[in-house]
Structures are given as C-alpha cells and as structure tokens.
Structure 1
Amino acid sequence: MLKLCFFICLIYWVKSDEEKKCPEFTDLNIGNALSGTELRVQLLLYTTDNPDCSERLIEHNVTASEYLNTAKKTVFVIHGFRPTGSPPAWLGDMKELLLSSDDINLIIVDWNRGATTVNYLTAVENCRKVAEILKNYVDQMLVHGASLDSIHMIGVSLGAHVAGFVGQKYNGKLGRITGLDPAGPSFTHEPPEGRLDRTDAQFVDVIHSDTDALGFKKPLGTIDFYANGGTDQPGCPKTVFGGIQYFKCDHQRAVFLFLSSLKRKCDIITYPCNSYLDYKRGKCVDCNAFQPMSCPVLGYHADRWKKWLIANNSPTKAYFDTSDQDPFCMYNYLLDITTWNKSIRRGFIRVKITDYAGNTAESEMNSEASTFQQYKRVRILTGFYQDIEKISKISLTFSTKTLIGPKHKLRILQMTLKSLNNPERLQLCRYDFVLMENTELTFKPIPCSEKGT
C-alpha cells in the first residue's frame, strides 16, 4: 500500500513538473526538413506579466488564457521558410525588445512544422492555411473585446504574406502590417490578392533588403523602405566563400534593422524618393511634404508618419544607407558644390571631417560619379559611421578614378556642408579653392553666415 501511494505521488509530481514547463518554439533539424513536416501551428503569448515563460493559446478558447488582455495592443510575429528547422536566430531579441518597448500582448506564431522543408513550394502552400488559423483566433479576440485597430502583425519573408492574407480577410481593417523583406520567389508575379499589398491593413510598412534574390522588389506597402538601395547590404559576404551567410545575410538584414529601431540607440532616417540614384544625388533630402514632422524613421515607430503617408494616397518609396553593423546608423551630410572649370569634369569627392579633439570620420566613396560644370551646383549625399558634432576641419579629395592620362583639378567657387540628421547645426562653408586630383586638401570651414568676415 505504501509503495502504491509512493508510485501515485511520483506520477503526480512528474506530471505537475511537466505542466510547469514553459511552452517553447518548435526546434527541428535538417532531418525534419528532408523528410518534410505536416503543418502544426502554436501561438505563444508573452506579456509583461510573463516575459520569460510563454503561454500556449488555445485557438477556440480565448477566455482560457491567463495573460491575454484584449484591451491592449496585440502584436503577432510571424516567421518564414525554415530550411534547417532551427528556431529563428532573431526570435529572442524580437521578444525582449518588443516587450520592453510597449505594454502589449506579444504572440509568436510558431508554424515551424509546415515551414521546415526543403521544398519551398510546400511552405508557400501552407501560408494561407496559417492565415486561416490566425483569422480564427483574431475572431475569438474580437468577440471578447479586442479591436482590429490595435492589431499589428510583423511578418518575416513568407510571414509577411501570411500577414497580408490575414489582412485581406478583414478587408484591410487591421491596424498595421510590417513586412520584413517579404519573400519574392513564388510571389513576384502574383496579383495583390496573392501576396502582401498596401490595402491589407490601415498602415503597411515594408523593409526591403534583398530585392535581387530572396526578397520582393516592387513596392508593397503604404511606405516601402529600401536599405542601401534594397540589394547588397554592407557587412554581408559578397561571394559564396562566405558560406551560408552569403545566402541569408542580405535577406535577414531587414529583421536586424527593425530590431535596431527598438533599441533606440539612434534613429535610422529615411528619405522618400523616386529612385535610389536620385536619393544618392541629393535630390530627396528635404522632406517638405512631411512638415511639421521630419523625414520618416525606419522600424517600429514608422507609424508616427501614418497620417501623412496615407494622405499621400499613393505608395511611398523611401531610401537610406546604413553602416555594416548594429545599430546600422549613418550620419548623413549634404555636400553642395559650385565649380568654375570651363571644361566638364566627372569624378568623385571623398569627404573627411575632424572635430576639435582630433576624432575623424571618413565618408564612403559615392558609387556614382558626379558631373561638374561651370557655375552649376552639384549636390552629393555623403554619410559617416560616426557622429562628429563640432567640426573643426574638413578634408576633400577629388578623383576621376582613371589610371592613365593627365591629372585634373577642380576649382570650387563655393562649398556647403549641411548635416541632415541634425539640421539645427550650423551649415559650414568654404569659398574659392582648388582641388588637385588625388590630393587631399584640408581646411578650416566657416559658418555659412560668416561669408565675407
């Protein structure tokens, strides 16, 4: 009898211990991908009351949740294709940063069983099935007091289209969808109802980072942000010798840029423009249409520009450059030059700035050559990885990048350097000087208002 009692107590203790275990994101492996997986979706809820231990939600029983508060904003995070079966590397940071930024219901949509396969088309087919499951749960939330206005879906790659399919089911009344480099393969030639579209939510913001491979190239949202033009990202491998990172680094960069916006170490400022080339030529740096607000910032807080973007009544493309590592911010300046040379010159200008403590920052050489003509103003967008607040010296180098032939010189009548990140700072000027090709010229600038003193 004593043994039986002990055995029953042991079973109860083991069962209770299992019940206390936190539900976790499904962890699979390459073997699962090779054999294929049947779709199975679990919704893992995190809140400020249970930030470290998720609660598995029951699809048809919202009231069974201990932590879900339908009066609060709800954010769904939806991953994409998982060819190796492992949990997304960014998932932990996404959870912690979202919970630290807002008092929300955070629901991680785990469809790893269904996304883990070597057959990409199988995962694509499962997208609509996942959307149907999410729609069923949102329906239950709405019955118990939730509002479509307060629902924000963040979709990565295939997950962006899943979010779009959910939004379609509510006729675009979801509050917001954020697409992080929405998948291109199998979706590029689909009509709006077959992919994410700007009509799928009240506000749709999209970050593009791999438009020449795994991502979607054309605009999909209310505003589409193109990082470094949307293709090759700084810091990512350029050849297959970079291993697996060569294939996924550019595609994943959209996620890490979004995460950077949650850390708030610096704002990534973007510039609405028709093309990346026009942006690089300094044609789109004023953002007058967004007054009294400044240029849109990337990421979680992009919806602050929602009113102006929706009023625009057409898709907005915004371009920006980044550094090669977190937090990815660039400190942009507009270099405005008027030249005297009678002969047309084509070339590049490298800029270096120095503060009074001797700290320096050097710009990247622009990929497009500028054309300098007599008495014509040329605007060049240039960026630095460091923020030099009080500039004591400016160094300029002119180059045509030609290896043969005579060296050229560029006579500059006026140069202006203006901070775009901090427009309240003084514009700096210099007048009437000559740049010899491939020879750095360093000088002390003066505030533009002091001309002639």
Structure 2
Amino acid sequence: MWRLYFFISLICLVRSDTDETCPSFTKLSFHSAVVGTGLDVRLMVYTWRNRTCPQIVNSVNLGNLNVAKKTTFVIHGFRPTGSAPVWMEALVQGLLSVEDMNVVVVDWNRGATTVIYSSATGKTKKVATVLKDFIDRMLVEGASLDNIYMIGVSLGAHIAGFVGKMFDGQLGRITGLDPAGPSYNGKPPEERLDSRDAQFVDVIHSDTDAMGYREPLGNIDFYPNGGLDQPGCPQTIFGGIAAYFKCDHQRSVYLYLSSLRENCSITAYPCDSYRNYRNGQCVTCGTLHKESCPLLGYYADNWKDYLREKDPPMTKAFFDTAEKEPYCIYHYFVDIIIWNKNVRRGSITIKLRDKAGDTTESKINHEPSTFQKYQQVSLLARFNKDLDKVASISLVFSTGNIIGPKYKLRILRMKLRSLAHPDRPQLCRYDLVLMENVETFFQPIHCSKLQL
C-alpha cells in the first residue's frame, strides 16, 4: 500500500511542476539571485485558442502549437532580482492581437536570475541550444524556418542571434530590443547578434551609453532620440534608482509595444547621424524617393524589400519620441524665407492651434539656424499631437542673448507642411515681422500653387 501512496504522491509532484492548470512565468526572489540559480528553460505557448492560459511545451511535446502558422519566440534578458518582466503579458497579448500566430515565451529565469552578470551571459548559448532542439522538432512536424520570428530583449537578443547562427541565418526574422552591450560590445559577429543571423534583422537601440549595444547589429537599426537618454526617464538616481538604471534600456520594449496598437505608428528616417536627422537633412523618404519611410517595431519588415537593393543591406534610422505612451511624434517642415538685410542666427518656437482649441508646440532650438536674405531655411518641427486642421499659428524667434539688442526677423514667407500627411494642404503666411522673444499669432492661408 505504501508503494501506491508513494506513486500517487510522485505523480502529483510531477503534475504540479509540469502540468499546471495555468502555467505562469517563473518568479524568484532576490535571495535566489544572491545564491544563484541553475539553468532551467520553460517554453510556454500562447495561441488564439489559449490567449491567457499557455501550455508548457518542449522538443518532445509541441502541445497546441500549429506548425503551419507563424511562431514568435519572446526571449527576456538578465533578471538581477528574479522578478518576472513587467512587459511580458502586454507583449504576448499585443502580438496575438495583430496576427493569428503561436507566441512562445522563453522563460529562462532560472539561469537569468543572478547578481553576477557574467553568470547569466555564460548561459545564453545553452538557452539557444534548447531553442534549436525545439525548432528542429517543429521542422520535423512540417514547420518552415521562414515562419520563425524571434524577439530578444537585452541578453535575449544575443540568444536569438545564436539560434539564428545554428540555422545558418535562415530564420525568418529577428528583432533585437536594446541588445545587451556589457560583455558584447566589440565582440566579433559569431559572439553576438549579427545582421546575417536571419533573413531580416531589425534592432532598436535605446540605451547605447549604458546597458545597450552601441554599434549597428541588424539590417536596419533604429535609434530613438539618438539612442541615448530617453525622454521621460530619470536623468539622475534621485528620480528612482531602479528607474534610473533600467528606464532607457526598457524603453525599446515599450516603443515596440506601441507598434502593436492602432493609434500609433512610429515613422523613422534613414540617416547617417542623429544630428543630420534633427537638422532635417534625412526626411525625404516617402516624398522624393520611391521607398516609403520605415516603420518601427512589428511592421519594420515591410522595408526589407528596399534593403535587398542595398549593398550591404544595412541602414541606420533615427526618430524622436514623446515622453510617454503612445510615444508618437508628428513631423512638419517649417520653411522660412527672410528679407532682413543682415544675417540672423537663432531658434524658432512654433505653436499650432485648431478650431477646437487644442494646441501643440515645438521648440526648434537644438542648433541655432542661420537665416539669410531670400534663402529658404527648412526647419524640422516635432509635435506631440497631430492636428488635422490648423486654425492659427504662433511663432517666437530668439537669438538666445540675455543682454544686448533685441532683433527682428522679417519673414517674406513661412510655409508649414506635414511629413506624415503630405497630401494635406500646405499652410503659408507672407510678409510677417517677428520681434525677438515675442509670440506672434496669425491665421495661415493655403499656399499659392505657384509657391509650392
């Protein structure tokens, strides 16, 4: 009889670990991080049929995973406190909301949870081997490498790269969300994520001066706000120690999440440098060239056909964001021609207002502009709101001088044109005089067709 009790107890123990009623991501404590954890990789698959309650799967049992559909793997990174990623649930549900696919959460928290960073990095290739075995089983069941998509966060980005190398770069796509920099910066391609690890590799760099990788790693590398400090994140530890260290790094995830929502499509602009982008020198895609501008996040692969025409097929793209969700910024060109006899240098602040009274403002002051007589200066303005019909505009001109004479900027013509909606009527104002540091309001008119 005791053998029967022992057998039943053993079955219960096994079921409690592998056949949970509704499995969840492994949650550990800071104590686990201090003492260290051995590697244990759990794969949990979500589908349209089981969107909130995943199945535990492995290379022996694929569960409800339909190999005929796209399969997206989500791989987290270093977990120094043992907690579950706060963004994981939103990412899973966001992916399922845009396409009928399999979403496989790669839970390697037992292994990633440690205060010793090198201990976690030392396990990344072992995680990749587990994923290779799982994909091999999928292939046996009829899956296609073209339908394999990997989203790797921090260390997870390099894990995805290692998996891609094991399949000779034939995976459909890899997205790296701020790939880890420490221990990887300067490493050769075989020791990190590389553009040749999949048919298409896109990367978002949001913390290149600390936790993230500095140099380009993909076919297209996105640098929000230049890839450095992100708006809305603490600039000192007094803004919160945890947020100070991880906010910039995690922003890549939240920017990706914004692409899964209908109310925000972030456009990026291919460019050699952030400075040139800010100066409006790299925003002609979609207007002067045949290709459209690349979109950040889930739909970035819409640009891969254009990249195939490049040699090598690699591009850096820059854009700015708002401080909080949904992060979208709307770009306009402000074209100004002056009739001052003398050259003027300074910055412009522009404010837009619609008939309902909603307003949005852009300070174009990152680099003083030089205004010369009868020469057009095109300034790139960024607004947090997209006003469909602009009823009034205000301008402020400033030289930045605190002490000294006040200058006038005599405008022969000002033109406002939307980059996001080039089909909208362009708005103009003629014969305008700006007194320095004085806000001047006016109603725009549709530009004369001769002036376009």
Same fold (TM over 0.5): yes
Q: Where do residues 17-28 of structure 1 align in structure 2 (5 Å cutoff)?
A: 18=16, 19-28=19-28
1:365 shift after superposition? 4.1
- Residue 262 of structure 1 aligns to a residue whose secondary structure is coil
1:290 shift after superposition? 9.1
**2:57 and 2:63 in contact (8 A); partners too:** no
- Residue 391 of structure 2 aligns to a residue whose secondary structure is strand
Q: Where do residues 434-449 of structure 1 align in structure 2 (5 Å cutoff)?
A: 434-449=433-448
For residues 312 and 44 of structure 1, what CA distance do their matches in structure 2 show? 38
Residue 271 of structure 1 corresponds to: 269
Name the TM-score, length of structure 1 as normaliser: 0.93
Query: What is the alpha-carbon root mean square deviation over aligned residues?
Result: 2.3
Deviations 1:237-272 (A, max 9, x none): 111101110111111000001011101212111111
Deviations 1:291-322 (A, max 9, x none): 55521111101111110122223311111111
Q: Where do residues 52-91 of structure 1 align in structure 2 (5 Å cutoff)?
A: 52-59=52-59, 61=60, 64-91=61-88
Q: Where do residues 214-293 of structure 1 align in structure 2 (5 Å cutoff)?
A: 214-243=211-240, 244-288=242-286, 292-293=290-291
For residues 371 and 194 of structure 2, what CA distance do their matches in structure 1 show? 42
For residues 209 and 200 of structure 1, what CA distance do their matches in structure 2 show? 21
Residue 133 of structure 1 corresponds to: 130
**1:290 and 1:308 in contact (8 A); partners too:** no
- The amino acid of 1:126's aligned partner reads K
- The amino acid of 2:394's aligned partner reads S
1:117 shift after superposition? 0.8
Name the TM-score, length of structure 2 as normaliser: 0.94
Count of aligned pairs: 446
- Residue 264 of structure 2 aligns to a residue whose secondary structure is coil
- The amino acid of 1:56's aligned partner reads I
- Residue 309 of structure 2 aligns to a residue whose secondary structure is helix
- Residue 368 of structure 1 aligns to a residue whose secondary structure is strand
For residues 368 and 90 of structure 1, what CA distance do their matches in structure 2 show? 36
Q: Where do residues 44-443 of structure 1 align in structure 2 (5 Å cutoff)?
A: 44-59=44-59, 61=60, 64-243=61-240, 244-288=242-286, 292-314=290-312, 315-443=314-442
For residues 48 and 167 of structure 2, what CA distance do their matches in structure 1 show? 28
1:284 shift after superposition? 1.3
For residues 17 and 31 of structure 1, what CA distance do their matches in structure 2 show? 26
- Residue 312 of structure 1 aligns to a residue whose secondary structure is coil
Structure 1: gaps (5+ residues): none
Deviations 1:393-436 (A, max 9, x none): 11000112221111122122221111111111011111222211
Q: Which moved more, 1:337-346 or 1:383-392?
A: 337-346
1:189 shift after superposition? 0.7
**2:56 and 2:63 in contact (8 A); partners too:** no
**1:163 and 1:196 in contact (8 A); partners too:** yes
**1:339 and 1:372 in contact (8 A); partners too:** yes
For residues 10 and 124 of structure 2, what CA distance do their matches in structure 1 show? 40
1:94 shift after superposition? 0.7
Structure 2: gaps (5+ residues): none
- Residue 49 of structure 2 aligns to a residue whose secondary structure is coil
For residues 287 and 439 of structure 2, what CA distance do their matches in structure 1 show? 38
Change (3 A) 1:420 1:144: same
For residues 313 and 264 of structure 1, what CA distance do their matches in structure 2 show? 34
